[in-house]
Structure 1
Amino acid sequence: MTIIHILLMLSIGVGGGFIAGLVGIGGSIIIYPAILLLPPLFGTPEYSAYIASGLTSSQVFFSTLSGSIKAIKEPDFNAPLVLYMGGGMLGGSVAGAMVANLLTTPVINAVYIGVAILALILMFIKVKPHADAGHSYNHWLLIAVGAVIGLVAGIIGAGGAFIIIPVLLAIFKLPMNTVVTNSIVIACVSAIGSFAIKLMQGYVPLGNAIFLIVGSVIFAPIGLKVGRLLPNIVQKAIISILIVIAITELIF
């Protein structure tokens, strides 16, 4: 790897890690398109969708793991919420990672774009959070929804938090602080299956992944700390903007 390549991977990891902590996502919403699109612009070898997906899964797992260590100490952390939805997503992500091996690059990108558009739509659905939203959810529905999200997340190598956040806000009507704190932990649980499968499939070149991981692990807790200071409307705006950018990059 050249110095430019190393710095590029490190920078992508830093950006993804900070965003992961800032708004409670794994960073895949910007990592996956960045890995596909940026290397050719800097004269470094480009990656296939399979490798980009594998590298994304490694970044997501370690960035969410880093952020989760801090998140579980927050007052808004809810273990049952993480257990039920995270468990469903873990099973779904394993299946999705295995299915991805059978899909073509255009199909994988189409899945990513479709889910990102759905997440964006859900972000604009206005609902009033339940006063006891952290405890009054349907456990079986959480597991089922988690499994579906995990399936899609496994295909693109994501933790799925950019989908989790709109779903928890619009469908389960949880407060933003609860969503941001717990979504990064749920994404971490989900990312275990996706990362493990893609690693076994040989889609995670460790020499490249290490720089993504280092940047992510260092900056995810910093992003989480900054995120706690932001108003809900600002966090939602940041997530929405990131989704739009990612969709636009992959379409054009």
Structure 2
Amino acid sequence: MAFILFAIIGALGAFLSGLIGIGGAIIMYPMLLFIPPLFNIDMTPATAAGLTAAQVFFSTLSGSISQRKNENLNISIIIPMSIGILSGSISGAYIASIFDESIINIVYTFLAVLAVILMFIKVKTNDAKTTYNKIALFLVATIIGILSGIVGAGGAFLIVPILLTFFKVPFRVVVANSIIVAFVSSIGTFFTKFLTGSVDMEHALPLIIASLIFAPIGTKVSKKTNQIVLRYILTTSIIIAAIKMMMDIL
């Protein structure tokens, strides 16, 4: 029963990660925190964050492989953001291991609310621009890495709206590059949480299997889906997760 339950949760998170260029953590963490207890499976914030880190690592790995030939990949975005987010995610994952577990829920809720606000800011993307400020990308990615590392995320659910809002990167380019950066981030987060004993491998296995299968499916569907539809899907997903988390904290 538990194997099937975690496989279903993993399939949904992985499909969304490929569909809208996120690692799935924005959906995965609250699902892991609230659904298993309904089936008498104990789940703490630390365990949910560890499982999220495992799922995100493999879903973004699979999603990144499927994007390897995407013409929208941009080195000027990937390299500075990858360096910053990797160092930040390692720091964030370590911070989560030494502080009270309540910090995980607080940071997650903050990130979700911030992402929602950013998604509602309407900007005109610059389709002609192909290079971006590398220092700014590095600094932003480092901060995202620290915060997302705490909750076991790759950070793509925050990378997406920030690239859209502040750097005015076209949505298709954002989707293609954010999944790559999220994978790099997940490397630091996953292995740090694994080494600190925060990853329950028994429950992580069905999440991983489902991620490897459904992330590429989401990517294929994404290429055939209208950009506006994808943005609404992302925004709606974040709003639902943020409301649920705020209700739990309050």
TM-score, length-normalised on structure 1? Answer: 0.96
1:208 maps to which residue?
A: 203
Q: Which amino acid aligns with 2:42?
A: E
Quote the Cα distance in structure 2 between the aligned partners of 1:65 and 1:204: 18
- The one of 15, 20, 24 equivalent to 2:17 is 20
Counterpart secondary structure, 1:204: coil
Match of 2:156 among 161, 178, 194: 161
Aligned amino acid, residue 30 of structure 1: I
Matched, 1:240 2:208: no
2:3 matched to 1:6?
Answer: yes
- In structure 2, which of residues 220, 226, 246 is the aligned counterpart of residue 231 of structure 1? 226
Separation of aligned partners in 1, 2:17 and 2:110: 21
In 2, Cα distance between the equivalents of 1:46 and 1:160?
26
Query: Is there any run of 5+ residues in structure 2 with no aligned partner, and where?
Result: none
The Cα shift of 1:227 comes to: 0.8
Please list the CA deviations of residues 167-198 of structure 1 after superposition, one character each: whole Å capped at 9, or x if unmatched.
00001100000001111111001110000100
In the alignment, which residue of structure 2 is the partner of 1:68? Answer: 64
Aligned to 2:245: 250
Describe the superposition over 1:148-178 as per-residue Cα deviations: whole angstroms up to 9, x where unpaired: 0000010000000000000000011000000
Do the aligned residues in 2 keep the contact of 1:36 with 1:46 (CA within 8 Å)? no
Aligned-residue sequence identity (percent) comes to 46
How far apart in 2 are the matches of 1:205 and 1:40?
A: 15
The residue identity in structure 2 corresponding to 1:163 is L
Q: Which runs of 5+ in 1 are unaligned?
A: none
Cα distance, 1:42 vs structure 2: 2.0
Q: List per-residue Cα deviations over 1:33-90 (Å, max 9, x = no partner).
A: 01110011123x2211111111100100100000000112111111231111111000
Following TM superposition, by how much is the alpha carbon of 1:232 offset from its aligned partner in structure 2, in angstroms?
A: 1.5
1:110 alignment counterpart: 106
- The letter for the 2-side match of 1:22 is L
Q: Over residues 18-40 of structure 1, what are the superposed CA-to-partner deviations in whole Å (9 max), with x where a residue is unaligned?
A: 00000000000111001110011
Number of equivalent positions: 247
Q: Distance in 2 between matches of 1:147 and 1:160?
A: 10
Moved more, 8-17 or 124-133: 124-133
Give SS of 2:88's match. helix
C-alpha distance in 2, partners of 1:9/1:141? 38
Which stretches of structure 1, 4 residues or more, deviate above 3 A after TM superposition? none
Aligned equivalent of 1:35, options 32, 38, 41: 32
Contact 1:54 / 1:199 at 8 angstroms: preserved in 2? yes
TM-score, scaled relative to structure 2: 0.96
**Residue 177 in structure 1 maps to residue 161 in structure 2:** no
The CA RMSD measured in Å over matched residues stands at 1.0
